[in-house]
Structure 1
Amino acid sequence: MHYHGTPIGGTRQDVARFLMGRHALVPYPRQDDMGVVAEVCQSFVLDNGAFSIWRKGGTLDVEGYTAWVRQWYRHPGFDWALIPDVIGGTEGENDALLDAWPADLVPHGVPVWHLHESTDRLARLAQGWRVVALGSSGEWATPGTRAWWVRMREAINAICDDQGRPLCKLHGLRMLNPDVFSKLPLSSADSTNAGRNCNQLDRYGIYVPPTAAQRAAIIADRVERFSSAGHFERTDEEWACYFAS
């Protein structure tokens, strides 16, 4: 499933046109499009905003976020919510946040495993949760680099059976790039690519769509043409091209 991060620029009408029938991710710090998402999207997930805090500083309002999840988790389009996490935090800090997640919201929450954490923690999460989100962090903060692929191979290898099937469903945070998600056995991924890059007019050639929403739709349509890998390929030959980048 391709989750497009919001907010999306443009008028409310433009935003509705772009989101119609798609899947969306709504971050707690920027709920601008929540009403439109709830009305026109096939489904949506809620993001706690840890990435923005990691980049810009600040403190996550765990109590406020939890209340927001309670407000929306009964909506028919709600899929799940990311459980609060600290992107650069220790395993102990993130395990404590998992333990603090309310029991009644456990079925609706998704824990995050960060690439700088141990694969033992990933295996533990995969054995205990229906969905686990994979977050790039530390020296592997940029998806698609050579070092990132090396680390991702270690991670996926740790939680797949002998046929390359993961123990649970996997969500790729900031991994809605076909060059990334089409090579991994992800059930879903997200990105703010469409909303953030629709104003880079040079990517459209000489025929530039007039509105931001139309440009965002072109980006999203191109992404949605691709699916994730059906299984994890362990052979060195399959991975050689990623390591060379």
Structure 2
Amino acid sequence: MIHYHGTPIGGTLTDKARFLVGRHALVPFPRQDDMGIVAEACQSFVFDNGAFTVWRRGGQLDTEGYYRWVDDWYRHPGFDWALIPDVIDGDEEANDALLRDWPAHLPGVPVWHLHESIERLERLASEWRTVAFGSSGQWRNPGTEAWWQRMRTAMAAVCDDQGRPRCRLHGLRMLDPQIFSLLPFASADSTNAAVNGGSVSRFGMYVPPTAGQRAEVIASRIESHNSAGAWVPSNQIELSI
């Protein structure tokens, strides 16, 4: 699977370059600080429209500005895809309308929110090459038992009888080995390394001296794990007991 690390990365320009070289990055529309380094140093990158930040803080997403930004970059050889704008806790009609507005020539990935219907997930999986899973509503916190119950239902709908997904799956804010190692994800993302690289307490008495080095340790630990080759419900159930 591909491990996309959210940017911006803390530290000096040297720290950022050292961390990002050879890795995969997710760049959010509201924080394009590291875009130049990402384009030069990363194996590949994806774009996040910033809807999660808008949802948390209030405000309105500049969809036209986002379209222009994606249009400027999608020809870059490292560009994989961009998340299509969405309303995190919006209804299905609103999110389907945003899918219809997406410029057809841009490589886009729709988001299925866990509070939305399973029927919408099945439809997206039949129409798109990749579908992103976004935690929302009563299932906004990945990894809880309620969240896993919802994911079991979703996996049953989107996978065949051998546990193989009908399209490529991406986990938003799911770059946790305890989550993605149990799911047949093609990719996942998080800002874990960027955010927690600044946390000294996380490392106990043996603390790497700089935020960049701490982020490197976190990312390397994450990347040592792979996603599941297929959905096997019993594996997750046994782990949660």
TM-score of the aligned structures, taking structure 2 as reference length: 0.98
Aligned partners of 1:196 and 1:111: how far apart in 2?
A: 26
Aligned partners of 2:236 and 2:76: how far apart in 1?
A: 41
- Opposite residue 37 of structure 1, the aligned amino acid is V
Aligned partners of 2:91 and 2:238: how far apart in 1?
A: 32
Who is 1:65 aligned against? Answer: 66
Q: Any conservation in 2 of the 1:16–1:36 contact (CA below 8 Å)? A: yes
Aligned partners of 1:242 and 1:102: how far apart in 2?
A: 42
Aligned partners of 2:55 and 2:238: how far apart in 1?
A: 31
Who is 1:145 aligned against? Answer: 144
Aligned partners of 1:14 and 1:234: how far apart in 2?
A: 40
Aligned partners of 1:29 and 1:191: how far apart in 2?
A: 16
Who is 2:175 aligned against? Answer: 176
Please state whether the residue corresponding to 2:193 is helix, strand or coil: helix
Residues 194-234 of structure 1 deviation map (CA, whole Å, 9 limit, x = unaligned): 00011211221222111111000000000000000000113
Who is 2:227 aligned against? Answer: 228
- Opposite residue 112 of structure 1, the aligned amino acid is V
Q: Any conservation in 1 of the 2:182–2:236 contact (CA below 8 Å)? A: no
CA RMSD, Structure 1 to Structure 2 (Å): 0.9
- Opposite residue 146 of structure 1, the aligned amino acid is E
Who is 1:240 aligned against? Answer: 237
- 1:1-245 paired onto structure 2 within 5 Å: 1-105=2-106, 108-235=107-234, 238-241=235-238, 243-244=240-241
Q: Any conservation in 1 of the 2:175–2:188 contact (CA below 8 Å)? A: yes
- Opposite residue 113 of structure 1, the aligned amino acid is W
Aligned partners of 2:237 and 2:176: how far apart in 1?
A: 19
Aligned partners of 2:104 and 2:225: how far apart in 1?
A: 36
Q: Any conservation in 2 of the 1:149–1:243 contact (CA below 8 Å)? A: no
Residues 79-137 of structure 1 deviation map (CA, whole Å, 9 limit, x = unaligned): 000000000000000000000111222xx000000000001000000001000000000
Unaligned runs of 5+ in 2: none
Please state whether the residue corresponding to 1:171 is helix, strand or coil: strand
Q: Any conservation in 1 of the 2:4–2:24 contact (CA below 8 Å)? A: yes
What is the number of equivalent residue pairs in this alignment? 240
* Identical-pair percentage: 67
TM-score of the aligned structures, taking structure 1 as reference length: 0.96
- Opposite residue 103 of structure 1, the aligned amino acid is A
Q: CA deviation at 1:242?
A: 5.2
Q: Any conservation in 2 of the 1:147–1:243 contact (CA below 8 Å)? A: no
